[in-house]
Structure 1
Amino acid sequence: MTVTRQDFEDAVAAYWGVKQAQIEQSLIKEAVGAGTAGAVRGGKHFDAIAVLLAKFFLEAGYPPESIRIARSQRLELPGYYRPQKQWDVVITHENTLVAAFEMKALGGPSFGNNYNNRVEEALGSAVDLRRAVLADLYTGEKPWLGYFFIMQDEAGSRRPVKPATGALPVEEVWHGMSYQDRFALFCERLMAEQLYDAVCYVTSSAADPKPTEPVPSLDWRHFSAAITARISYLKELGLPGHTRQAVGGWDAVWPGARAQGGPAAL
């Protein structure tokens, strides 16, 4: 049972509180020891997306103790410019950081209030960890980083924004861009500079939660393919060393799941 496009759309809808795949979410949280919804890092809005990302690794056979989606599960990772930083979803196995994900959003009505904060957060998290790798603070296989971002789709995020007049002129490309356009370019540059290994950038709203993917290379198809490629790469190197199916399939992770209409129903 793979992670599907419908799983992705349901998770984005759940961000807006519109739709909840409650049975599967609660089963995955129980399987990885994440406890209640309120314990998940990022608050209830990102619960379903954290669960969606966890599902990739549960399906691939990673033991529940390798998957962290709750604050109580120790989401902190070593940094270089600071001792540590708390990520949103962390998968470790033996001495390898299998994957770490940041999940962020930008909403209105005043998009400008938090736009720079979101940019600085994404840059700071990646640069800090990448530098820590160079300092040999991560001793296993090279860490893999993912970034999932939701931009609220409304008039304010679609409207062109004029850069402020500063001491020196801004790069020409920024003129005439909306906040949606600005963040699309930002995410493309994150990938071009290899600060993140995969980025998913979507626009959505409570009124119309079905996600729109403005940049083809940053869509869900590419993001999920990158996660799957990471899992396959480590599998060739012997991680995690067994598959979930080899030790009893989903029932071994979620006892009674079939009877409850859980993953087997997908």
Structure 2
Amino acid sequence: MWMPTDDEIKDMTKVALETFWGLRHLGDKGVRGGKTMDGFAEMLQGVLRRCGVDDTEIIMGKKAKLPSFYRLSKDWDMIVIQNRPDGSRRLLCVLEFKSMKGSVGKNLNNRVEEAVGSSADLWKAYENDAFGVTRPFLGYIYVMSEDIELIIGNTERKGLLFPPLEAFTKFERTGRPANYEERAELFMKHMAQEHLYDKCAFIIADPDIIGEYRQPNLDLTIELLIKTMVGHVQAHQ
């Protein structure tokens, strides 16, 4: 069975980031249209095709809609199904692609609430037999632009009625209060630890050297996400 190497994934990620920046440079229309992460969607499409997934089984756009528990339905960025010989469908993968450039202090909390709520909704629907027996792979890719605001932004939250969790006041690698980048990392780390998402990828993209990026946490890499997704798909073929 085919499994991409780390070097192959790095090369694909660089191409996806070139698309990411190229679309951003088109201006507000590209950003508002939600097209900045199309390169990552195309990247995963290519990986899934090499795993034997047919294009008709990779669903994006308005058709990427699943039943929910707390609401009627939820739109996802990518859904992978398996068309089975008996005419039924098996839900294999569900993926979200999110990005952020600037205004981190205003937008990070919104990202957290959205991601946590979407995951809780999906798994509750699964528990209530919305998708059948097979547990789907749920993945989350988050790309943030390298920005001085990430590391010098507000590290304190005034007005809390109780002290914040120590993970935020003594970040594990520094012992200091977490800045915005570190808060975003904790957000992804905690979602993975709590099994809200099977794998999360946290990428900081360099705006000056297009295609270059860093991944602050080795447990939150695009390599791990893709390899886990590939293993899940191949196990159910």
Q: 8 Å contact 1:198–1:223 — kept in the other structure?
A: yes
Supply the AA of the counterpart residue of 1:131.
Answer: K
- 1:89 equivalent in structure 2: 78
- 2:14 equivalent in structure 1: 9
- 1:188 equivalent in structure 2: 189
Secondary structure at 1:100 match in 2: strand
Secondary structure at 1:4 match in 2: helix
- 1:202 equivalent in structure 2: 203
The 5 A counterparts of 1:51-62 are 51-62=42-53
Q: Alpha-carbon deviations, 1:18-58, whole Å to 9, x = none?
A: 89xxxxxxxxxxxxxxxxxx9xx963211111111111211
Q: 8 Å contact 2:9–2:223 — kept in the other structure?
A: no
Supply the AA of the counterpart residue of 2:167.
Answer: V
Counterparts of 1:87 and 1:128, CA distance in 2: 12
Supply the AA of the counterpart residue of 1:15.
Answer: F
Supply the AA of the counterpart residue of 1:165.
Answer: G
Counterparts of 1:140 and 1:11, CA distance in 2: 33
Q: 8 Å contact 2:137–2:229 — kept in the other structure?
A: no
User: How much does 1:8 deviate?
Assistant: 1.2
Counterparts of 2:158 and 2:209, CA distance in 1: 32
**Cα pair distance change 1:134/1:91, threshold 3 Å:** same
User: How much does 1:136 deviate?
Assistant: 1.0
Supply the AA of the counterpart residue of 1:152.
Answer: S
TM-score, normalisation: structure 1 = 0.74
User: How much does 1:179 deviate?
Assistant: 1.1
1:125 aligns with 2:109: no
User: How much does 1:165 deviate?
Assistant: 2.1
- 2:172 equivalent in structure 1: none
Q: What's the RMSD between the two structures over aligned residues? A: 2.2
Q: 8 Å contact 1:163–1:174 — kept in the other structure?
A: no
Q: 8 Å contact 1:51–1:69 — kept in the other structure?
A: no
Counterparts of 1:59 and 1:83, CA distance in 2: 34
Counterparts of 2:33 and 2:197, CA distance in 1: 19
TM-score, normalisation: structure 2 = 0.83
The 5 A counterparts of 1:1-266 are 2=4, 4-17=9-22, 43-71=34-62, 74-94=63-83, 95-108=89-102, 110-159=103-152, 161-175=155-169, 176-209=177-210, 210-234=212-236, 239=237
**Cα pair distance change 1:173/1:4, threshold 3 Å:** closer
Secondary structure at 2:213 match in 1: coil
Q: Alpha-carbon deviations, 1:119-152, whole Å to 9, x = none?
A: 0111011100000011111114111100000122
Counterparts of 1:124 and 1:211, CA distance in 2: 28
Higher-strand-fraction structure? 2
Q: 8 Å contact 1:88–1:102 — kept in the other structure?
A: yes
Q: Alpha-carbon deviations, 1:201-241, whole Å to 9, x = none?
A: 0111322331100000111221221112112211xxxx2xx
Counterparts of 1:58 and 1:199, CA distance in 2: 21
Counterparts of 1:18 and 1:103, CA distance in 2: 15
Secondary structure at 2:219 match in 1: helix
Percent of counterpart pairs with the same letter?
Answer: 26
Supply the AA of the counterpart residue of 1:86.
Answer: D
